[in-house]
Structure 1
Amino acid sequence: MAKKEDGGQGAPSRLGRGLAALIGDVDTEKSALDRARGQRRVPIEFLRPNPRNPRKRFGDEDLADLAASIREKGIVQPILVRATPEDADRFEIIAGERRWRAAQRAGLHEVPVVVHKVGDREALEIAIIENVQRADLNPLEEAEGYQRLIDEFAYTQAELGDVIGKSRSHVANTLRLLKLPNPVQDMIADGSLSAGHARTLVTHDDPENLAREIIESGLNVREAEALMKRPEKTAHESAGAPDKDADTRAIEKRLSDALGLAVDLRHKSSGAGELRIRYKTLEQLDGVIERLVDK
């Protein structure tokens, strides 16, 4: 499939060259001088976020720390922008939205920018590359950014890997995360579940409940992979607990589905038993109490 053109820009195989210098990751005298020549200061209110920015989450604590640093040292690296179509004196952020947000918190009236004439495709590429290289994206945001380049600009996975400096297999494995159900994607986005853990769940029949077991049991990726090979067992059984019959596992699953939490049911030979409900926050505990106590 032929790649869509965007303002006469070249093919992606040529685009990647020089992008490292563009976003400030090549610290040479020449690149520093080039940036200095193109740098200017503009009122902070003249900038607006890029709706295509793959990064959607900006942690409050992270922004507070950066704002404190900006108050003391200023913005060390200029924000990359492009002029808006309706007003050449106002700009859309290509890369550096986190710095812009923190600068507002720090009370800055002006910010340093470097203006570039780029189209939608290259602006999205630069945003993804900058965030990936700085590890600013969570795995799900990275996957969504890759998918947008594929959907809107007809990239193959190999071409995308060349542009962002990653292997085709990395691109493919990252994109697989988008096949997971929304609750599991939420666990990835909030950091509860790593990309390595999540990739083991893609082909599982019940990825949501297995994800909860992995989190609640604190399994590493290798243990999660081992659990995948034995889907009839729970995480606690894989860790050395005795086997459970099908009826017990069915009851555990019903309770887990109802509560949204991992459940461990143990029968004793005397007919007595023990039911454990594992929670991580007081809010989860409150939810259990609301279900068990009459109002």
Structure 2
Amino acid sequence: MVKSKKTGLGGLGAKGGGLGALFADQGLDNAVNSGDEVREIAIEKIVANPFQPRRVFDQNKLQELADSIKQNGVLQPIIVRHNPKDNSQYELLAGERRWRASQLAELTTIPAIVRKLDDDQMLQAAILENLQREDLTPLEEAQAYRDMMDGLNLTQAQVAKRLGKARSAVANFLRLLNLPDEVKDLLNAGQLSMGQARTLLGLHNKRRITPVAKRAVAEGMTVRQLEQLVNKLNEQATSTKNQPSLSPYIKASTNALEDKFGTKVHMTRNRKGAGKIEITYLSDEDLNRIFDTLGINLDDE
């Protein structure tokens, strides 16, 4: 079902003028212009942009939008293109939240504007729309840059130039993709800031990133406090480089203990199999944290 009408609605809005201008420069203008033909298209004939890097949507916010749509309708048309494999079907360019919320609102049709775009333009448009979101997380922004590089065969410098950003800023975001998955989860949940995540990437021993990240969250560290901890751990790692090589068992045991306590651990063993374990702590608070990890409550002593 497709019904057409003309509209004089304004633009979709952008997070800063640079990206909005880039849409126009690349022929990806997602603004609704005077004279654009708005069609009522059956929702069942529309599928999500196959190049859309965003995979997770806040269900509470979608429901709020759906409730608004039930009361007021869809005020802003979505932007689509014909499916290259089936001209009777459509693929989304912009407005996926409105499309998804309209389904929750049990609408059968949605106002839409049809544009002619190839696959490369669809990919770039999806990424650019993603970058305009107000709730964009650092990792989502990083992934958008990576998608631009991979999908459009661009370098960091070319991505930065297209978006009007410093190359170093793009590089800093891309580095976040090297974080362990558990640390990425903490960053996405807002328990770690981007500044803290970047600091963690400065650890020489990359295996330590996850336990140190958990420690930073547990202790409510500031970026500055975390920087001091990372510098201290790096210094300790450097000081042990020239020590005699350890057996694989001692190495594995040391690594396991360091992961457990989130701090430097030193183990020695003599020929008879006896030895000692030294656990480094940086302050009284750090010592209490280690006791907590061991399940020792000094208040009960």
Q: Do both proteins adopt the same fold according to a TM-score greater than 0.5, normalized to the shorter chain?
A: yes
Per the alignment, in what secondary structure is the counterpart of residue 56 of structure 2?
Answer: coil
> In 2 relative to 1, CA 274–202 (structure 1 residues): closer, same or farther, beyond 3 Å?
closer
User: Paired residue for 2:292?
Assistant: 276
Task: Report deviation, 1:143.
Answer: 1.7
1:244-279 CA-to-partner distances (Å, cap 9, x unmatched) read xxxxx999745458xxxxxx99999xxxx983259x
User: Paired residue for 1:60?
Assistant: 59
Larger radius of gyration: 2
Per the alignment, in what secondary structure is the counterpart of residue 291 of structure 2?
Answer: strand
Task: Report deviation, 1:77.
Answer: 2.2
Runs of 4+ in 1 over 6 A off after TM superposition: 249-252, 264-268
User: Paired residue for 1:239?
Assistant: none
Task: Report deviation, 1:46.
Answer: 0.9
Task: Report deviation, 1:15.
Answer: 5.7
Q: Is the 8 A contact 1:44 1:104 kept in 2?
A: yes
1:105-143 CA-to-partner distances (Å, cap 9, x unmatched) read 111111112222112222122222222222343222222
> In 2 relative to 1, CA 200–266 (structure 1 residues): closer, same or farther, beyond 3 Å?
closer
User: Paired residue for 2:131?
Assistant: 132
User: Paired residue for 2:37?
Assistant: 38
> In 2 relative to 1, CA 168–114 (structure 1 residues): closer, same or farther, beyond 3 Å?
farther
> In 2 relative to 1, CA 92–250 (structure 1 residues): closer, same or farther, beyond 3 Å?
closer
What RMSD over aligned residues (CA atoms) do the two structures have, in Å? 3.5
1:155-187 CA-to-partner distances (Å, cap 9, x unmatched) read 121221233343322211111111112222222
**CA distance in 2: counterparts of 1:209 and 1:274, whole angstroms:** 12
**CA distance in 2: counterparts of 1:266 and 1:162, whole angstroms:** 44
Q: Is the 8 A contact 2:45 2:88 kept in 1?
A: yes
User: Paired residue for 2:77?
Assistant: 78
Per the alignment, in what secondary structure is the counterpart of residue 42 of structure 1?
Answer: strand
> For 1:152-191, what aligned pairs fall within 5 Å after superposition?
152-191=151-190
Q: Is the 8 A contact 2:82 2:116 kept in 1?
A: yes
Per the alignment, in what secondary structure is the counterpart of residue 94 of structure 1?
Answer: strand
**CA distance in 1: counterparts of 2:139 and 2:113, whole angstroms:** 29
> For 1:1-295, what aligned pairs fall within 5 Å after superposition?
16-18=23-25, 22-24=29-31, 32-34=33-35, 37-204=36-203, 205=205, 206-231=208-233, 253=258, 255-256=260-261, 275-277=291-293
| Aligned AA (1:22) | D
Which segments of 5 or more consecutive residues in structure 2 lack a partner in the other structure? 1-20, 236-253, 263-279, 296-301
1:69-111 CA-to-partner distances (Å, cap 9, x unmatched) read 2222222222221111122221111222222111111111111
User: Paired residue for 1:243?
Assistant: none
1:41-94 CA-to-partner distances (Å, cap 9, x unmatched) read 201111111232111111221211121222222222222211111222211112
Task: Report deviation, 1:213.
Answer: 1.6
Q: Is the 8 A contact 2:261 2:290 kept in 1?
A: no
Bigger relative CO (Cα 8 Å, ≥ 6 apart): 1
Q: Is the 8 A contact 1:44 1:108 kept in 2?
A: yes
> In 2 relative to 1, CA 151–276 (structure 1 residues): closer, same or farther, beyond 3 Å?
same
Q: Is the 8 A contact 2:138 2:173 kept in 1?
A: yes
Q: Is the 8 A contact 1:83 1:115 kept in 2?
A: yes
How many residue pairs match? The answer is 234
Per the alignment, in what secondary structure is the counterpart of residue 218 of structure 2?
Answer: helix
**CA distance in 2: counterparts of 1:76 and 1:186, whole angstroms:** 35
Per the alignment, in what secondary structure is the counterpart of residue 187 of structure 1?
Answer: helix
Task: Report deviation, 1:19.
Answer: 6.6
| Aligned AA (1:142) | E
Give the TM-score of the pair, scaled to structure 1: 0.68
Give the TM-score of the pair, scaled to structure 2: 0.66
**CA distance in 2: counterparts of 1:153 and 1:21, whole angstroms:** 15
Per the alignment, in what secondary structure is the counterpart of residue 39 of structure 1?
Answer: strand
User: Paired residue for 2:4?
Assistant: none
